[in-house]
């Protein structure tokens, strides 16, 4: 459900890069919220999600850092 929503968002609002970060959110609390929201989908795993996004959005970059300005402007 969340992955479909992410892909829909990326189609409507293209971005250059997703910075994947740990939300530091208690997983048990998260599962409780998901149950209240109407259940859970099977876990996909980050490897699958990134691979699928690369396939569907080949110009989308993935990272866990802030690239230096020269990366964008060639300095």
Helix ranges (DSSP H) in 1-75: 2-12, 27-36, 46-56, 69-73
Q: What pTM was computed for the model?
A: 0.64
For residue 19, what are the β-bridge partners?
63
Domain contains 63:
yes
DSSP label at residue 13: S
Tell whether 39 is covered by a domain: yes
Domain range for 60: 2-70
Q: Is residue 75 part of a domain?
A: no
Q: Give 27-56 pLDDT, tens digit per residue.
A: 788 778 877 877 667 778 888 999 999 999
């Amino acid at each position: 459900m969340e992955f479909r929503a992410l892909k829909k968002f990326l189609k409507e609002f293209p971005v250059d890069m997703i910075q994947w970060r740990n939300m530091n959110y208690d997983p048990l609390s998260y599962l409780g919220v998901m149950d209240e929201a109407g259940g859970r989908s099977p876990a996909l795993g980050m490897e699958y999600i990134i691979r699928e996004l690369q396939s569907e959005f080949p110009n989308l970059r993935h990272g866990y850092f802030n690239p230096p300005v020269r990366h964008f402007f060639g300095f």
